[in-house]
Amino acid sequence: MTAAGPHVVVIAGARPNFIKVKPVLDALAADGARTTLVHTGQHYDDAMSGVFFADLGLSPPDHHLDAGSGSHAVQTAAVMTAFEPLLVRLAPDAVVVVGDVNSTLACALVAAKANVPVAHVEAGLRSGDRAMPEEINRIVTDRLSDLLFAPSPEGVRHLLAEGAPPASVHLVGNVMVDTLLACRERARARPTLAELGLRAGGYGLVTLHRPANVDDPAVLDGLIRALGEIAVRCPLVFPVHPRTAGRLAGRLPDGVRPLGPVGYLDCLALQMGARLVLTDSGGVQEESTVLGIPCLTLRESTERPITVTEGTNRVVGRAPEAVVAGAIEWLERPPPPRRPALWDGHAGERISAVLTRSLASRARGLPTQRAITERDTERANA
Ligand code: UD1
Ligand code: UDP
């Protein structure tokens, strides 16, 4: 901590991370913090990483760990091994991790063991399904974190039920929504639909990448069959994630059009123009809610139930008949648009307000945490 403000290391490694760190970096800089962005290299293709820096106007990473792909243990260890010496060298006042990917867990673990305060953005989400690798990452990252920034009230409830100190838990809203609202008009202005020959309201959008959906050929076959049936009523476009690309082997039915992974602004444009979204993505569940687009989640559970209770999402599972029935219902009777409280474009500012104040208290030897949630969020909004 210098007179100029705290030094905060911010971690990003995979596609959704780049979108989440942007508003946090901006808000920290506006509050006088020095930020260092570390890219772990979990995602590395231009379509999974580079395009997001360009679309979001994100400065290039200050450090690149080049961890790359691998099994969970190999990838997590590669990030940890590369991050540890860098962290020692940087000696920051705090490390911010976002989301629930392997890079999140790896860097939280390294920072916690180095006795550097960890702040977790998107804390408290739980699917209740420990077969999801992300669920393990969420539980462990939250347990290791000193500051827990929850996007929605059920996140706060989970954290408190698991014994997190109440003063470490802050209800701040959703950083994914900050970025969406900041980029919406630029996305609307893009020629994405015209270039693909699509008409707004004339197609559905599909994204699938969860191991439980795409790694098991029988499950993937069933989902592809369901997409073919839905496409008879509403043609579908499907930007294919690299994990999924290797498993599809060209077997998509008529009416389901594969694309490569698309950039962030193109993905928002495709969501805005869609009549229906079919997904297993966490971020897309949230974005479709904010955009008011009917969404079906092709999973047995969601860690984002607020998109169901206060949004346009429905969790239909992965049984082909249930997916087709859900799609027919959403096409015939779309849900009304709604938006959760605090999903208002200011989550990054709330996070920065809490984090910089907490680090300033720590530097003065004062207690670093006190009860916050609503009171602070109101003040940050004032
Ligand atoms: C990861 C996250 C998941 C998140 C998703 C976002 C974990 C455990 N999983 O899943 O939570 O929803 O990112 O997209 O952290 N690949 C490429 N190019 C790339 C990156 C990956 O071809 O730039 C391929 C590699 O074959 C790799 C596979 O995709 O083995 C999976 O990548 P990985 O990062 O391990 O997991 P994701 O499925 O992307
Ligand atoms: N996204 C994108 N291009 C795509 C698919 C998704 O830009 O081809 C965006 C999407 O709009 C959202 C984020 O990537 O902002 C979600 O990432 P992903 O689905 O890979 O991960 P998850 O949110 O499930 O962890």
What are 16-47's pLDDT values in tens digits?
A: 999 999 999 999 999 999 999 999 999 999 99
- The CATH number of the domain covering residues in 192-332: 3.40.50.2000
Burial class (CB in 10 A: 0-12, 13-18, 19+), 300: middle
Q: Where are the alpha helices (DSSP H) in 57-101?
A: 72-90
29 conformational bin, left if phi > 0, alpha if psi -120 to 50, beta if neither: alpha
Find the 43 Cα to ligand 1 centroid distance in Å. 6
**The ligand 2 atom nearest the CA atom of 210:** 24
Q: How far is CA 29 from CA 10, 32, 170, in A?
A: 12, 5, 20
User: What pLDDT, on the 0 to 100 scale, is given for residue 309?
Assistant: 97
Distance in angstroms (rounded) separating the CA atoms of residues 171 and 364: 25
Nearest ligand to the CA atom of 55: 2
**The ligand 2 atom nearest the CA atom of 101:** 25
Mean pLDDT (the chain, rounded): 95
Q: Are strands 295-297 and 313-315 parallel, antiparallel or unpaired?
A: parallel
Name the band, by pLDDT with cuts 50, 70 and 90, for residue 381. very low
Do 13 and 42 form a contact (C-beta atoms < 8 A)? yes
- Average pLDDT of span 314-330: 98
User: What pLDDT, on the 0 to 100 scale, is given for residue 158?
Assistant: 98
Find the 287 Cα to ligand 2 centroid distance in Å. 10
User: What pLDDT, on the 0 to 100 scale, is given for residue 251?
Assistant: 79
Global pTM reads 0.96
Nearest ligand to the CA atom of 263: 2
User: What pLDDT, on the 0 to 100 scale, is given for residue 377?
Assistant: 45
Find the 277 Cα to ligand 2 centroid distance in Å. 13
Q: Dig out the tokens for 109 from the structure.
A: 């673990």
**Does residue 135 have a pLDDT over 50?**
yes
Find the 336 Cα to ligand 1 centroid distance in Å. 33
User: What pLDDT, on the 0 to 100 scale, is given for residue 327?
Assistant: 98
Give the mutation target among 175, 209, 281, 298 for probing the ligand 2 site: most ligand atoms within 8 A of CB. Answer: 281
SS (H, E, C) 254-321: CCEEEECCCCHHHHHHHHHHCCEEEECCHHHHHHHHHHCCCEEECCCCCCCCHHHHCCCEEECCCCHH
Q: Is the CB of 303 under 6 A from ligand 1?
A: no
How long, in residues, is the chain?
A: 382
**Does residue 199 have a pLDDT over 50?**
yes
**Which H helix or E strand runs over 11?**
strand 7-12
Q: Which of 60-69, 91-100, 135-144, 373-382 has the lowest mean pLDDT?
A: 373-382
User: What pLDDT, on the 0 to 100 scale, is given for residue 367?
Assistant: 67
Name the band, by pLDDT with cuts 50, 70 and 90, for residue 51. very high
Give the mutation target among 101, 104, 105 for probing the ligand 1 site: most ligand atoms within 8 A of CB. Answer: 101
Nearest ligand to the CA atom of 187: 2
**Does residue 204 have a pLDDT over 50?**
yes
Of residues 253 and 1, more confidence is placed in 253
Q: Which of 16-25, 39-48, 72-81, 243-252 has the lowest mean pLDDT?
A: 243-252
- Vertex 52, ends 123 and 289: CA angle to 5°? 50
User: What pLDDT, on the 0 to 100 scale, is given for residue 139?
Assistant: 98
User: What pLDDT, on the 0 to 100 scale, is given for residue 33?
Assistant: 98
Per-residue model confidence as pLDDT tens digits over 277-310: 999 999 999 999 999 999 999 999 999 999 999 9
Name the band, by pLDDT with cuts 50, 70 and 90, for residue 382. very low
- With tokens 């760190």, the residue in question is 21
Note the CATH architecture for domain 7-174+343-381. 3-Layer(aba) Sandwich (3.40)
- Vertex 254, ends 250 and 258: CA angle to 5°? 50
Name the band, by pLDDT with cuts 50, 70 and 90, for residue 125. very high
**Does residue 215 have a pLDDT over 70?**
yes
Do 88 and 111 form a contact (C-beta atoms < 8 A)? no
Do 362 and 368 form a contact (C-beta atoms < 8 A)? yes
Q: Dig out the tokens for 337 from the structure.
A: 């648009």
209 classed as catalytic: yes
User: What pLDDT, on the 0 to 100 scale, is given for residue 59?
Assistant: 97
Q: Which amino acid is at 173?
A: G
Among 158, 209, 241, 346, the active-site one is 209
Q: Is the CB of 247 under 6 A from ligand 1?
A: no
Residues of the chain with pLDDT > 70, as a percent, come to 95
Name the band, by pLDDT with cuts 50, 70 and 90, for residue 363. confident
User: What pLDDT, on the 0 to 100 scale, is given for residue 1?
Assistant: 60
Name the band, by pLDDT with cuts 50, 70 and 90, for residue 364. confident
List the residue whose alpha carbon is closest to atom 24 of ligand 2. 281
> Could you give the residue range(s) of every CATH 3.40.50.2000 domain in the chain?
7-174+343-381, 192-332
Find the 372 Cα to ligand 2 centroid distance in Å. 31
**Does residue 372 have a pLDDT over 50?**
no
Kindly give, in sequence order, each residue whose CB lies less than 8 Å from that of residue 185, ignoring residues fewer than 6 positions away.
none
